[in-house]
Structure 1
Amino acid sequence: MAKVKLLIAEDDVVIAQNLSFSLEEMGYEVCAIVSSGEELLLEVHKYNPDLTILDITLEGKLDGIDTAAMLSKSSKIPFIFMTALSDKETIDRAKQTNPHAYLVKPFDVRTLQSSIEVAIHNASLRQQLATAASTEPAPEPPANEAPANYLLHDTLFLKVRNRLEKVALGDIVWAEAQDIYCNIKTQQHLYLVSQSLKNLEQHLPNKDFMRVHRSYIVRLTAIEAIEDNNILISGKSIPIGNTHKDSLLKRLQIL
């Protein structure tokens, strides 16, 4: 019988390792340990765990609650929150993501195992209910729901946690699809936003940006070299899709 596969998101190395040892002693398989929400969202589809255990306090710009909310949009992987925070505000935020269990530190091994079993059971039950209701039309989002990103002249405002961060279009060098969200790379930062690459493309001016692959958009002036079927930008190799190569070459001055 295959072991239940778990992924841990915990920014304290000692706690993460101790938790991993405890889980493996219980008979679970720990497929990966990450320290940030951004890393979890990039790695989760590689490992496809049966359950994710998230600390609410993580490295990076996404905390565990933000990460769980984005994870829910792109997968059906169940998740448990573990935290030393038990204040009403944190719990109310956490409840909005519909976690499958909630552990308050410190907890013992028996409580941990019980929470995992309950979470997996709840996930199975939710899946059965979703399947039974699959013939019903999906509810439409509220008419006044705000988009995740806002455009103002030559600037994008990216929603990062509870604030909007201004990013000049001229600072963006490439964007990469990550399922229903995407990475936006500037010279200084890497942003993970809850928008598809297709939606982002609509906000980027065609004269400056071009889709070169189904998973990539690049800023044309940021291209440093083209080698074989790859674009080089700031040390990153970006593939050129067959359907985009001719259009790209036509836009470049080649001597």
Structure 2
Amino acid sequence: MTAKKWDFSSFDGVSLKIHEMGEGRPVILLHGLFSNADTNWIKFGHAGALANAGFRVIMPDLRAHGESEAPHDPASYPDDVLVQDALALIAHLQLTDYDLGGFSLGARTTARLLVTGATPTKAILAGMGLQGLAGWERRQKFFQEAIRIRDTAKRGDPHWMAIQFMKSQKIDPASASLLLATFSDMDPAEAASIETETLVLCGSEDRDNGDPEELAAILLNGHHVAIPGTHMSSVTKAEMSQEMVRFLVG
């Protein structure tokens, strides 16, 4: 099954590329940092599995990622701009009965959406723990440093893998740096106020964003499921989409 693509002009006119697959109940999926819809959701069969299960899978390339626009104007990066982009897309599609999920950065954005007006029936936070929501400042410094040394870092540097992934995905460093500064920490009390039924789906070896079980426990209606893999490898596993389908259909 091949995804169709279309362009969406967001709230401020920045053009975002939307990938879509399947027909049926809408589910919006947000990819991870330095990734894109194809790498995160399409390449390893997750979108296809959801489409085969009866879902209309809507996958934006986030601002400054993939085939979406990556402006250099700081005015294009207000606080929580990815949340604003997602809300604009939901409004454009006139979605009222839908599900929502994300991996890593997409999960952080999903959590922010759940406390700023989005009303999906079910939500998925993949590759995420409580510290990934509440302790973003430390992670931002890591990625900003990766951008700063992207052309000088040597193999063995702790930033090496992030730099190589960024380069493989053709990420514009100036745009990425501006985007990183738009994310805000979430107070654990905010997370504890989320009422949406939420699946916390994380690789058994993935603690890049903290403890997923701790995150699931603080949510009012959270469930934790472990799948094989690390933060990077879990998205390549069929178990990811199997558990997503199980949760959304159940």
Question: TM bucket by the smaller chain?
Answer: 0.3 to 0.5
TM-score w.r.t. the length of structure 1 is 0.37
Q: Which has the higher contact order (CA 8 A, sep 6+)?
A: 2
Query: Per residue, is there more helix in 1 or in 2?
Result: 2
Structure whose alpha-carbon radius of gyration is higher: 1
